Amino acid sequence: MAMPAAAAMASAVENPWHNAQRQFDEAARLLGLDRSLRGVLREVKRQLIVNFPVKMDDGSTRMFEGYRVQHNVARGPAKGGIRYHPGVTLDEVKALAMWMTWKCAIAGLPFGGAKGGVVVDPKQLSVGELERLTRRYATEISLVIGPESDIPAPDVNTTPAVMAWIMDTVSMEQGFSVPAVVTGKPLAIGGSQGRNAATGRGVMFVALAACRRLGRSPQESTVAVQGFGNAGSFAARLMAEQGFTICAVSDTTGAIYAEHGLDIPAVIAHKQQTGSVAGFDGSESISSEQVLEAPVDILIPAALENQVTASNAGRIKASLLLEAANGPVTPDADAILEKRGVTVVPDVVANAGGVTVSYFEWVQDLQSFFWDEDEINRQLEKIMNRAVDDTWQMAQEHGVSLRNGAYFVAIDRVAEATIARGIYP
Protein backbone atom coordinates (compact mmCIF):
# COMPACT_ATOMS: atom_id res chain seq x y z
CA MET A 1 0.00 0.00 0.00
CA ALA A 2 1.04 3.63 -0.29
CA MET A 3 3.37 4.30 2.61
CA PRO A 4 2.04 6.82 5.16
CA ALA A 5 3.96 10.11 5.12
CA ALA A 6 5.19 9.67 8.68
CA ALA A 7 6.25 6.09 8.02
CA ALA A 8 7.95 7.12 4.78
CA MET A 9 10.08 9.65 6.66
CA ALA A 10 10.92 7.14 9.37
CA SER A 11 11.76 4.34 6.93
CA ALA A 12 14.41 6.58 5.39
CA VAL A 13 16.36 6.29 8.63
CA GLU A 14 15.02 3.00 10.04
CA ASN A 15 17.29 0.16 8.98
CA PRO A 16 15.36 -3.13 9.22
CA TRP A 17 18.52 -5.15 9.89
CA HIS A 18 19.48 -2.88 12.78
CA ASN A 19 15.92 -3.16 14.09
CA ALA A 20 16.03 -6.97 13.88
CA GLN A 21 19.33 -7.00 15.74
CA ARG A 22 17.98 -4.61 18.37
CA GLN A 23 15.02 -6.90 18.97
CA PHE A 24 17.33 -9.89 19.30
CA ASP A 25 19.83 -8.06 21.52
CA GLU A 26 17.14 -6.96 23.98
CA ALA A 27 15.66 -10.45 24.23
CA ALA A 28 19.09 -12.11 24.49
CA ARG A 29 20.09 -9.71 27.27
CA LEU A 30 16.89 -10.31 29.24
CA LEU A 31 17.27 -14.05 28.69
CA GLY A 32 20.87 -13.98 29.91
CA LEU A 33 22.15 -15.70 26.79
CA ASP A 34 25.87 -16.49 26.71
CA ARG A 35 27.78 -13.63 25.09
CA SER A 36 29.57 -15.88 22.59
CA LEU A 37 26.29 -17.43 21.52
CA ARG A 38 24.80 -13.96 21.13
CA GLY A 39 27.61 -13.14 18.72
CA VAL A 40 26.75 -16.18 16.60
CA LEU A 41 22.98 -15.70 16.50
CA ARG A 42 22.93 -11.96 15.81
CA GLU A 43 24.71 -12.36 12.45
CA VAL A 44 23.68 -14.09 9.22
CA LYS A 45 25.44 -17.27 8.14
CA ARG A 46 25.58 -16.56 4.42
CA GLN A 47 24.67 -13.71 2.07
CA LEU A 48 24.75 -14.03 -1.71
CA ILE A 49 24.56 -10.95 -3.97
CA VAL A 50 23.97 -11.57 -7.66
CA ASN A 51 23.94 -9.15 -10.60
CA PHE A 52 22.46 -10.64 -13.73
CA PRO A 53 21.30 -9.64 -17.23
CA VAL A 54 17.78 -10.10 -18.55
CA LYS A 55 16.74 -9.81 -22.19
CA MET A 56 13.86 -7.34 -22.45
CA ASP A 57 11.00 -7.48 -24.95
CA ASP A 58 12.45 -4.62 -27.01
CA GLY A 59 15.68 -6.56 -27.55
CA SER A 60 17.74 -4.59 -25.02
CA THR A 61 19.52 -6.16 -22.05
CA ARG A 62 18.98 -4.83 -18.55
CA MET A 63 20.94 -5.61 -15.39
CA PHE A 64 19.24 -6.51 -12.10
CA GLU A 65 20.52 -7.08 -8.58
CA GLY A 66 19.24 -9.87 -6.35
CA TYR A 67 19.99 -11.42 -2.96
CA ARG A 68 19.65 -14.67 -1.06
CA VAL A 69 20.50 -14.66 2.63
CA GLN A 70 20.60 -17.54 5.12
CA HIS A 71 20.56 -16.47 8.75
CA ASN A 72 20.78 -19.78 10.61
CA VAL A 73 20.48 -23.48 9.77
CA ALA A 74 21.05 -25.10 13.16
CA ARG A 75 17.52 -26.56 13.23
CA GLY A 76 17.35 -27.65 9.58
CA PRO A 77 17.34 -26.34 6.00
CA ALA A 78 16.89 -22.60 5.54
CA LYS A 79 13.35 -21.46 4.68
CA GLY A 80 12.08 -18.12 3.47
CA GLY A 81 10.35 -16.19 0.74
CA ILE A 82 11.52 -14.20 -2.26
CA ARG A 83 10.21 -10.68 -2.83
CA TYR A 84 10.27 -8.52 -5.95
CA HIS A 85 10.19 -4.84 -5.02
CA PRO A 86 12.08 -1.69 -6.09
CA GLY A 87 12.87 -0.96 -2.44
CA VAL A 88 14.58 -4.29 -1.68
CA THR A 89 17.95 -3.93 0.04
CA LEU A 90 20.47 -6.40 1.39
CA ASP A 91 19.84 -5.21 4.95
CA GLU A 92 16.10 -5.71 4.52
CA VAL A 93 16.67 -9.28 3.29
CA LYS A 94 19.04 -9.98 6.20
CA ALA A 95 16.41 -8.79 8.67
CA LEU A 96 13.73 -10.89 7.03
CA ALA A 97 16.01 -13.95 7.15
CA MET A 98 16.60 -13.47 10.88
CA TRP A 99 12.88 -13.07 11.55
CA MET A 100 12.29 -16.31 9.62
CA THR A 101 14.68 -18.16 11.95
CA TRP A 102 12.68 -17.10 14.99
CA LYS A 103 9.35 -17.70 13.25
CA CYS A 104 10.22 -21.28 12.32
CA ALA A 105 11.54 -21.98 15.82
CA ILE A 106 8.41 -20.64 17.53
CA ALA A 107 6.21 -22.74 15.24
CA GLY A 108 8.36 -25.79 16.02
CA LEU A 109 9.33 -26.31 12.38
CA PRO A 110 12.62 -28.05 11.49
CA PHE A 111 13.90 -25.06 9.52
CA GLY A 112 16.30 -22.19 9.82
CA GLY A 113 15.66 -18.76 8.36
CA ALA A 114 16.39 -17.40 4.88
CA LYS A 115 15.07 -14.71 2.54
CA GLY A 116 15.62 -13.51 -0.99
CA GLY A 117 14.79 -10.56 -3.16
CA VAL A 118 15.30 -8.79 -6.45
CA VAL A 119 15.39 -5.01 -6.84
CA VAL A 120 12.62 -4.64 -9.42
CA ASP A 121 9.09 -3.33 -9.87
CA PRO A 122 7.42 -6.38 -11.43
CA LYS A 123 4.42 -4.28 -12.46
CA GLN A 124 6.68 -2.61 -15.03
CA LEU A 125 7.62 -5.94 -16.67
CA SER A 126 5.73 -8.05 -19.18
CA VAL A 127 4.96 -11.66 -18.28
CA GLY A 128 7.80 -12.79 -20.56
CA GLU A 129 10.27 -10.38 -18.97
CA LEU A 130 9.18 -11.49 -15.49
CA GLU A 131 9.68 -15.14 -16.40
CA ARG A 132 13.13 -14.52 -17.85
CA LEU A 133 14.14 -12.49 -14.80
CA THR A 134 12.89 -15.23 -12.47
CA ARG A 135 14.64 -18.03 -14.31
CA ARG A 136 17.95 -16.16 -14.46
CA TYR A 137 17.72 -15.21 -10.77
CA ALA A 138 16.90 -18.84 -9.91
CA THR A 139 19.96 -20.01 -11.83
CA GLU A 140 22.17 -17.49 -10.04
CA ILE A 141 21.02 -18.55 -6.55
CA SER A 142 20.89 -22.27 -7.41
CA LEU A 143 24.31 -22.44 -5.74
CA VAL A 144 22.57 -22.30 -2.35
CA ILE A 145 18.95 -23.44 -2.77
CA GLY A 146 17.65 -27.02 -2.73
CA PRO A 147 15.20 -29.32 -0.88
CA GLU A 148 17.81 -30.17 1.77
CA SER A 149 19.54 -26.79 1.97
CA ASP A 150 17.29 -23.76 1.34
CA ILE A 151 13.65 -23.76 0.22
CA PRO A 152 12.24 -20.45 -1.18
CA ALA A 153 8.57 -19.46 -1.15
CA PRO A 154 6.40 -16.55 -2.32
CA ASP A 155 6.60 -13.15 -0.64
CA VAL A 156 5.80 -9.58 -1.70
CA ASN A 157 4.98 -9.45 -5.45
CA THR A 158 5.82 -13.10 -6.08
CA THR A 159 3.21 -15.70 -6.93
CA PRO A 160 2.67 -19.44 -7.48
CA ALA A 161 3.62 -18.83 -11.13
CA VAL A 162 6.98 -17.40 -10.06
CA MET A 163 7.56 -20.42 -7.84
CA ALA A 164 6.68 -22.70 -10.78
CA TRP A 165 9.35 -21.02 -12.92
CA ILE A 166 11.95 -21.44 -10.17
CA MET A 167 11.01 -25.09 -9.66
CA ASP A 168 11.17 -25.76 -13.40
CA THR A 169 14.51 -23.97 -13.80
CA VAL A 170 16.13 -25.99 -11.01
CA SER A 171 14.55 -29.18 -12.37
CA MET A 172 15.92 -28.53 -15.88
CA GLU A 173 19.39 -28.03 -14.46
CA GLN A 174 19.13 -31.24 -12.38
CA GLY A 175 17.65 -33.30 -15.21
CA PHE A 176 14.62 -34.42 -13.17
CA SER A 177 11.71 -32.81 -11.33
CA VAL A 178 12.56 -31.31 -7.94
CA PRO A 179 9.18 -30.18 -6.58
CA ALA A 180 10.44 -29.72 -3.00
CA VAL A 181 12.92 -26.99 -4.01
CA VAL A 182 10.23 -24.32 -3.49
CA THR A 183 6.85 -24.07 -1.78
CA GLY A 184 3.81 -22.02 -2.72
CA LYS A 185 3.64 -23.73 -6.12
CA PRO A 186 0.49 -24.39 -8.18
CA LEU A 187 -1.35 -27.56 -7.16
CA ALA A 188 -0.60 -29.12 -10.56
CA ILE A 189 3.12 -29.40 -9.79
CA GLY A 190 3.15 -30.33 -6.12
CA GLY A 191 1.62 -27.34 -4.38
CA SER A 192 -0.40 -27.78 -1.21
CA GLN A 193 -4.06 -27.27 -0.53
CA GLY A 194 -4.62 -24.22 1.65
CA ARG A 195 -1.31 -22.52 0.86
CA ASN A 196 -2.71 -19.33 -0.69
CA ALA A 197 -4.84 -18.57 2.36
CA ALA A 198 -2.32 -19.86 4.91
CA THR A 199 -0.85 -16.58 6.16
CA GLY A 200 -4.25 -14.92 6.45
CA ARG A 201 -5.79 -18.00 8.05
CA GLY A 202 -2.95 -18.07 10.55
CA VAL A 203 -3.64 -14.42 11.42
CA MET A 204 -7.30 -15.33 11.97
CA PHE A 205 -6.36 -18.18 14.32
CA VAL A 206 -4.04 -15.84 16.23
CA ALA A 207 -6.75 -13.18 16.44
CA LEU A 208 -9.18 -15.69 17.95
CA ALA A 209 -6.52 -16.96 20.39
CA ALA A 210 -5.58 -13.42 21.44
CA CYS A 211 -9.23 -12.52 22.01
CA ARG A 212 -9.66 -15.59 24.21
CA ARG A 213 -6.58 -14.58 26.21
CA LEU A 214 -7.80 -11.00 26.59
CA GLY A 215 -11.42 -11.90 27.31
CA ARG A 216 -12.75 -10.26 24.16
CA SER A 217 -15.55 -11.28 21.83
CA PRO A 218 -14.86 -11.31 18.07
CA GLN A 219 -18.45 -10.20 17.50
CA GLU A 220 -17.74 -7.02 19.49
CA SER A 221 -14.33 -6.28 17.93
CA THR A 222 -13.64 -3.85 15.09
CA VAL A 223 -10.62 -4.21 12.80
CA ALA A 224 -8.47 -2.17 10.40
CA VAL A 225 -6.23 -3.94 7.88
CA GLN A 226 -3.33 -2.03 6.32
CA GLY A 227 -2.40 -3.82 3.11
CA PHE A 228 -4.99 -5.78 1.12
CA GLY A 229 -2.74 -8.21 -0.70
CA ASN A 230 -2.67 -11.94 -0.13
CA ALA A 231 -2.22 -11.92 3.64
CA GLY A 232 -4.40 -8.91 4.36
CA SER A 233 -7.34 -9.85 2.15
CA PHE A 234 -7.52 -13.44 3.38
CA ALA A 235 -7.15 -12.32 7.01
CA ALA A 236 -9.96 -9.79 6.55
CA ARG A 237 -12.29 -12.29 4.86
CA LEU A 238 -11.66 -15.11 7.32
CA MET A 239 -11.92 -12.83 10.36
CA ALA A 240 -15.19 -11.41 9.04
CA GLU A 241 -16.50 -14.97 8.78
CA GLN A 242 -15.65 -15.39 12.49
CA GLY A 243 -17.70 -12.33 13.43
CA PHE A 244 -15.08 -9.57 13.48
CA THR A 245 -16.21 -6.25 11.96
CA ILE A 246 -13.70 -5.04 9.37
CA CYS A 247 -14.05 -1.24 9.25
CA ALA A 248 -11.01 -0.12 7.25
CA VAL A 249 -8.73 -1.58 4.58
CA SER A 250 -6.10 -0.17 2.26
CA ASP A 251 -3.92 -1.17 -0.66
CA THR A 252 -1.27 0.55 -2.77
CA THR A 253 -3.87 2.73 -4.50
CA GLY A 254 -6.25 3.83 -1.77
CA ALA A 255 -7.93 3.32 1.58
CA ILE A 256 -11.58 3.00 2.64
CA TYR A 257 -13.52 3.12 5.90
CA ALA A 258 -17.05 2.23 7.00
CA GLU A 259 -17.95 2.75 10.65
CA HIS A 260 -20.38 -0.17 10.75
CA GLY A 261 -18.19 -2.51 8.74
CA LEU A 262 -17.30 -3.40 5.16
CA ASP A 263 -18.68 -6.31 3.14
CA ILE A 264 -15.27 -7.93 2.67
CA PRO A 265 -16.21 -10.45 -0.09
CA ALA A 266 -17.68 -7.52 -2.00
CA VAL A 267 -14.55 -5.43 -1.43
CA ILE A 268 -12.43 -8.31 -2.75
CA ALA A 269 -14.66 -8.59 -5.83
CA HIS A 270 -14.46 -4.81 -6.33
CA LYS A 271 -10.66 -4.93 -6.18
CA GLN A 272 -10.55 -7.82 -8.64
CA GLN A 273 -12.69 -5.81 -11.06
CA THR A 274 -11.06 -2.38 -10.64
CA GLY A 275 -7.58 -3.13 -9.33
CA SER A 276 -8.18 -1.10 -6.17
CA VAL A 277 -10.22 -1.00 -2.98
CA ALA A 278 -10.81 2.72 -3.63
CA GLY A 279 -14.28 3.73 -4.71
CA PHE A 280 -16.08 0.84 -3.03
CA ASP A 281 -19.78 1.68 -2.66
CA GLY A 282 -20.88 2.59 0.85
CA SER A 283 -17.38 3.42 2.06
CA GLU A 284 -15.58 6.63 2.88
CA SER A 285 -12.26 7.39 1.20
CA ILE A 286 -9.53 7.99 3.80
CA SER A 287 -5.77 8.42 3.81
CA SER A 288 -3.27 5.66 4.41
CA GLU A 289 -2.32 7.26 7.73
CA GLN A 290 -5.95 7.10 8.85
CA VAL A 291 -6.05 3.32 8.36
CA LEU A 292 -3.24 2.87 10.86
CA GLU A 293 -4.87 5.37 13.22
CA ALA A 294 -8.48 4.24 12.69
CA PRO A 295 -10.78 4.10 15.75
CA VAL A 296 -10.85 0.29 15.95
CA ASP A 297 -10.09 -2.41 18.50
CA ILE A 298 -7.61 -4.38 16.38
CA LEU A 299 -5.00 -3.13 13.91
CA ILE A 300 -3.43 -5.51 11.40
CA PRO A 301 -0.45 -4.08 9.47
CA ALA A 302 -0.17 -6.44 6.49
CA ALA A 303 2.04 -4.45 4.11
CA LEU A 304 5.77 -3.76 4.54
CA GLU A 305 8.12 -3.13 7.45
CA ASN A 306 8.52 0.19 9.34
CA GLN A 307 4.89 1.28 9.14
CA VAL A 308 4.28 1.96 12.85
CA THR A 309 7.13 4.16 14.04
CA ALA A 310 7.94 6.51 16.90
CA SER A 311 6.29 9.29 14.90
CA ASN A 312 2.83 7.69 14.73
CA ALA A 313 2.73 5.07 17.53
CA GLY A 314 1.22 7.60 19.92
CA ARG A 315 -1.79 8.01 17.62
CA ILE A 316 -2.61 4.30 17.27
CA LYS A 317 -6.12 3.81 18.71
CA ALA A 318 -6.30 0.02 18.54
CA SER A 319 -5.57 -1.82 21.79
CA LEU A 320 -4.51 -5.04 20.01
CA LEU A 321 -2.05 -5.10 17.10
CA LEU A 322 -1.38 -8.24 15.05
CA GLU A 323 1.71 -8.07 12.82
CA ALA A 324 0.63 -9.79 9.61
CA ALA A 325 3.55 -8.13 7.81
CA ASN A 326 7.20 -8.67 8.68
CA GLY A 327 8.66 -5.97 10.90
CA PRO A 328 5.85 -3.39 10.61
CA VAL A 329 6.49 -2.01 14.12
CA THR A 330 9.89 -0.49 14.87
CA PRO A 331 11.60 -1.04 18.26
CA ASP A 332 11.02 2.58 19.25
CA ALA A 333 7.34 2.27 18.38
CA ASP A 334 7.18 -1.00 20.34
CA ALA A 335 8.30 0.81 23.48
CA ILE A 336 5.65 3.51 23.00
CA LEU A 337 2.88 0.98 22.39
CA GLU A 338 3.89 -1.11 25.40
CA LYS A 339 3.86 1.98 27.62
CA ARG A 340 0.36 2.81 26.33
CA GLY A 341 -0.89 -0.71 27.12
CA VAL A 342 -1.30 -1.86 23.52
CA THR A 343 -0.93 -5.63 23.13
CA VAL A 344 1.32 -6.43 20.16
CA VAL A 345 1.37 -9.99 18.83
CA PRO A 346 4.69 -10.04 16.92
CA ASP A 347 5.17 -11.05 13.32
CA VAL A 348 7.15 -14.16 14.23
CA VAL A 349 3.92 -15.51 15.74
CA ALA A 350 1.10 -13.70 13.95
CA ASN A 351 2.15 -14.41 10.35
CA ALA A 352 3.67 -17.87 10.85
CA GLY A 353 0.78 -19.52 9.02
CA GLY A 354 2.47 -19.14 5.65
CA VAL A 355 5.69 -20.89 6.56
CA THR A 356 3.77 -23.56 8.48
CA VAL A 357 1.78 -24.61 5.43
CA SER A 358 4.96 -24.25 3.36
CA TYR A 359 6.43 -26.86 5.70
CA PHE A 360 3.42 -29.08 5.05
CA GLU A 361 3.94 -28.64 1.30
CA TRP A 362 7.64 -29.52 1.56
CA VAL A 363 6.83 -32.69 3.55
CA GLN A 364 4.15 -33.70 1.03
CA ASP A 365 6.54 -33.16 -1.89
CA LEU A 366 9.27 -35.25 -0.28
CA GLN A 367 6.82 -38.08 0.42
CA SER A 368 4.76 -37.70 -2.79
CA PHE A 369 1.73 -38.05 -0.54
CA PHE A 370 -0.76 -35.20 -0.31
CA TRP A 371 -3.24 -34.14 2.37
CA ASP A 372 -6.72 -32.68 1.94
CA GLU A 373 -7.44 -29.07 2.88
CA ASP A 374 -9.35 -29.94 6.06
CA GLU A 375 -6.28 -31.78 7.37
CA ILE A 376 -4.03 -28.86 6.41
CA ASN A 377 -6.25 -26.38 8.27
CA ARG A 378 -6.56 -28.60 11.35
CA GLN A 379 -2.80 -28.98 11.61
CA LEU A 380 -2.29 -25.25 10.99
CA GLU A 381 -4.72 -24.29 13.76
CA LYS A 382 -2.97 -26.65 16.19
CA ILE A 383 0.47 -25.16 15.46
CA MET A 384 -0.71 -21.53 15.56
CA ASN A 385 -2.51 -22.03 18.89
CA ARG A 386 0.54 -23.73 20.35
CA ALA A 387 2.78 -20.86 19.21
CA VAL A 388 0.45 -18.31 20.83
CA ASP A 389 0.25 -20.36 24.05
CA ASP A 390 4.04 -20.80 24.27
CA THR A 391 4.59 -17.09 23.64
CA TRP A 392 1.95 -15.89 26.09
CA GLN A 393 3.12 -18.28 28.82
CA MET A 394 6.75 -17.23 28.43
CA ALA A 395 5.82 -13.53 28.49
CA GLN A 396 3.78 -13.98 31.65
CA GLU A 397 6.44 -16.08 33.40
CA HIS A 398 9.12 -13.45 32.80
CA GLY A 399 6.96 -10.33 32.95
CA VAL A 400 7.94 -9.18 29.45
CA SER A 401 6.17 -8.16 26.24
CA LEU A 402 4.77 -10.77 23.86
CA ARG A 403 7.58 -9.94 21.44
CA ASN A 404 10.21 -10.74 24.03
CA GLY A 405 8.20 -13.77 25.12
CA ALA A 406 8.23 -15.04 21.52
CA TYR A 407 11.95 -14.30 21.20
CA PHE A 408 12.68 -16.13 24.45
CA VAL A 409 11.00 -19.25 23.04
CA ALA A 410 12.72 -18.96 19.66
CA ILE A 411 16.20 -18.04 20.89
CA ASP A 412 16.16 -20.83 23.46
CA ARG A 413 15.29 -23.40 20.79
CA VAL A 414 17.85 -22.16 18.26
CA ALA A 415 20.53 -21.83 20.95
CA GLU A 416 19.85 -25.38 22.12
CA ALA A 417 20.30 -26.69 18.56
CA THR A 418 23.45 -24.61 18.05
CA ILE A 419 25.00 -25.89 21.27
CA ALA A 420 24.02 -29.50 20.51
CA ARG A 421 25.68 -29.34 17.09
CA GLY A 422 28.80 -27.59 18.32
CA ILE A 423 31.25 -25.50 16.31
CA TYR A 424 32.91 -27.18 13.30
CA PRO A 425 35.76 -28.14 13.15
Using DSSP's 3-state secondary structure scheme, residue 184 falls into: coil
Rounded to whole angstroms, how far apart are CA atoms 326 and 177?
Answer: 32
| Sheet-wide strand order for 320-322 | 284-286, 254-257, 245-251, 222-226, 298-301, 320-322, 343-345
Answer positive or negative: Cα dihedral of 78, 84, 90, 94. negative
Rounded to whole angstroms, how far apart are CA atoms 63 and 53?
Answer: 4
Cα-atom radius of gyration of the chain, to the nearest Å? Answer: 20
Rounded to whole angstroms, how far apart are CA atoms 175 and 178?
Answer: 9
| H helical segments located in 225-372 | 230-241, 264-274, 288-292, 331-339, 347-350, 353-367
Contacts (Cβ under 8 Å, ≥6 apart) of 145:
68, 138, 151, 152, 170, 181, 182
How far is the CA of 137 from the CAs of 51, 75, 149, 189, 415, in angstroms? 9, 27, 17, 20, 33
Q: Which H/E stretch holds residue 211?
A: helix 198-214
In single-letter form, the type of residue at position 370 comes to: F
- SS3 assignment for 220-262: HCEEEEECCCHHHHHHHHHHHHCCCEEEEEEECCEEEECCCCC
Rounded to whole angstroms, how far apart are CA atoms 124 and 285?
Answer: 27
Angle made by CA atoms 84, 88, 91, in degrees to the nearest 5:
140
Answer positive or negative: Cα dihedral of 142, 143, 148, 150. negative
Count of residues making up the chain: 425
Instruction: For residue 115, indicate whether it is catalytic.
Output: yes
Of 79, 94, 103, 115, the active-site residue reads 115
Catalytic residues: 115
